[in-house]
Amino acid sequence: MSRPIRTLFISAEVAPFAKTGGLGDVGGSLPKALAELGHDVRVVMPAYKNIEDGYPGVEPMPGQLDVHTGLGTVPCGVFQSTLPGSDVPVYFIAEWHLFKRDEIYGYWDDPYRFAFFSMAALELTKALDWKPDLLHAHDWHTAPAITWLATAGQGDPWFQGIASVFTIHNLAHQGKTNWHIFDYMGIQTHSLNDEAYGEVNFMARGIYHATMVNTVSPSYAREILTPEGGAGLDGLLRHRAYDVHGILNGIDYQSWNPESDSRLPHHYNVTDLSARQKNRRALQEYANLPVKDNVPLVAMVSRLDWQKGLDLMGHVVHLLMNGFSGDAQFIVLGTGEAHYENMFAQLASYHRDKMTAFLSYNAGLAPLIYAGSDIFLMPSLFEPCGLGQLIAMHYGSVPVVRATGGLADTVHDSITGFSFFDFNVESFWHALQRAIYIYNVDKESWGKIQLNGMMADFSWTRSAQGYQQLYEWAIARTLGG
Ligand code: ADP
């Protein structure tokens, strides 16, 4: 192994303490995988309401932390714990005016809340007398830590020589706010080309100032360099093109394992898929569909957001349910934008004997859908990494995906699933038809595709090795120059 790297890992979400999406999974899993490679990783997140109200195993640290802002010193508290199943320390910045609220995001002062959090996380390293080799910050919320470290922070010898890595999980959310935030952070600076007059874009600043930048799949890393995929920041990203990398997320094989998943009625593994058939029947019964063993059971589990390709779904489900590829069943689990919920509710009401729509968030049902369906749909318009297809493959449901971002990197056509490139109904439908054809007439090839998916390695260990390499490059760059 390379020498142990001391990493300050800061994120607005860290599962299981706080999670709204993939960012939380990364926050909860990647530090553990890095620690298993021998690194000294310490995680910092805000103390949201659930922590302030008392979370099992989370203790207050003695004393207070004085955070120096450009407008004066603000004291806060710190709680501490460890990531479950590890001894990786987690620190929680406790400032109840800012973080003890019902939701994690969505407030008028979000930029201030997370700028404060970012600065407190850096300050904490002094209180712990633990100087990191590297700061790893995630998405716009923690970009201010990168910006401050590269600018005002360089006036303090403690913060000199610390490398930084900025990870983009979703370029769609950038954290735009007004210029005064820099007074608060004690930063004097000039505007970037990507910022409107008087405006600060947290994400743009993180990209600009980080030693290294990465996103969560190699294909998404290339796509964000283009005007189509760059969400207005492609110019800045191209400026840093040589420092923008892509590292796939992993999945947590301890919680996502068909052999031991407690949410499944029947367990199975690659050596014997017969119990899968039982899950399939259980799913059909649960969904109130006829229990049939030989019709393709097609499914989707997703946030109902335009990003997920739902504008293609209506037409494709219509063709599928009207028998254009013979008999088929369809189950969707999802919640989100009202017009997509209405679309699925209406289609389900036409096709009661073939289709069921569960329009809610149901973490207990999702595993049964992965374990009981034959084909899993993910026709995303863009997808930074995507978790759904990874879980589907591991549970033996064959994905049909649009070849974009992480979907392009993880689903290989006719080997681990089926993919299409052009974002239109015909291409999607042809890919689904190919899958149904093989399912119906070539069981042997189908079985191979299923097993290839189940055995593919998308572990966090693999991701952590990628991050280790990126950390080493960032440190070499900082120390060398
Ligand atoms: P994103 O982070 O953009 O929502 P991902 O594919 O990376 O997409 O992750 C989606 C995760 O959320 C998967 O684990 C999926 O099973 C889960 N999920 C999405 N919608 C639901 C739902 N309605 N009920 C239960 N789980 C859901």
Per residue of the chain (481 residues), what is the pLDDT tens digit? 568 999 999 999 999 999 988 899 899 999 999 999 999 999 999 999 999 999 999 999 999 999 999 889 999 999 999 999 999 999 999 999 999 999 999 999 999 999 999 999 999 999 999 999 999 999 999 999 999 999 999 999 999 999 999 999 999 899 999 888 888 888 877 777 777 778 899 999 999 999 999 999 999 999 999 999 999 999 999 999 999 999 999 998 988 999 999 999 999 999 999 999 999 999 999 999 999 999 999 999 999 999 999 999 999 999 999 999 999 999 999 999 999 999 999 999 999 999 999 999 998 999 999 999 999 999 999 999 999 999 999 999 999 999 999 999 999 999 999 999 999 999 999 999 999 999 999 999 999 999 999 999 999 999 999 999 999 999 999 988 5
* Nearest atom (ligand 1) to Cα of 370: 16
Q: What is the atom index within ligand 1 of the atom nearest the CA of 365? A: 25
Rg value, the chain, Cα? 23
**Could you tell me the two tokens for 356?**
């069921």
| Pocket lining: 364 vs ligand 1, CB cutoff 6 Å | no
Ligand 1 pocket check for 366: Cβ under 6 Å: yes
To test ligand 1's pocket by mutation, which of 303, 370, 378, 380 has the most ligand atoms within 8 angstroms of CB?
A: 303
Q: How far is the CA of 436 from the centre of ligand 1 (A)?
A: 24
What is the number of the ligand 1 atom nearest to the C-alpha of 335? 23
**What pLDDT sits at residue 184?**
86
DSSP H helical ranges for 252-298: 274-286
Distance 419 CA to ligand 1 centre (A): 20
Task: Give the per-residue pLDDT at 477.
Answer: 95
Q: How far is the centre of ligand 1, averaged over its atoms, from the C-alpha of 304 (Å)? A: 10
Tell me the CA–centroid distance for residue 20 and ligand 1, in Å.
10
Atom of ligand 1 minimally distant from the CA of 388: 6
* Protein residue with least CA distance to atom 13, ligand 1: 388
Nearest CA residue ID for atom 12, ligand 1: 302
* Distance from the alpha carbon of residue 81 to the mean position of ligand 1, in angstroms: 27
Helices (H), 176-217: 181-185, 202-209
Distance (angstroms) between ligand 1 centre and the Cα of 388 equals 6
Is residue 301 lining ligand 1, measured as CB closer than 6 Å? yes
- What is the per-residue pLDDT for 60? 97
> How far, in Å, from the CA of 158 to the mean position of ligand 1?
41
Separation CA 139–CA 405 (nearest Å): 17
For the CA of 363, the nearest atom of ligand 1: 25
Q: Mutation test of ligand 1: which of 387, 402, 409 has the most ligand atoms closer than 8 Å to its C-beta?
A: 387
Residue 417 vs residues 68, 187, 329, 393: alpha-carbon distances, Å: 53, 50, 19, 8
The predicted structure's pLDDT at residue 481: 52
Candidate from 138, 249, 257, 301 with most ligand 1 atoms within 8 A of CB, to mutate: 301
Ligand 1 pocket member 386 (CB < 6 A): yes
Cα–Cα distances in Å, from 164 out to 25, 137, 422? 21, 8, 37
- Write the DSSP string, 93-137: EE-HHHH-SSSSS--TTHHHHHHHHHHHHHHHHHHTT---SEEEE
CB < 8 Å & 24+ apart, contacts of 397-403: 397/299, 397/369, 397/370, 397/371, 397/373, 398/374, 398/435, 398/439, 398/446, 398/449, 398/450, 398/453, 399/375, 399/453, 400/375, 400/376, 400/428, 400/431, 400/432, 400/435, 401/377, 402/309, 402/378, 402/428
Instruction: Check pocket membership of 388 for ligand 1, CB cut-off 6 A.
Output: yes
Q: Ligand 1: which atom is nearest the Cα of residue 308?
A: 3
CB of 302 closer than 6 angstroms to any ligand 1 atom: yes
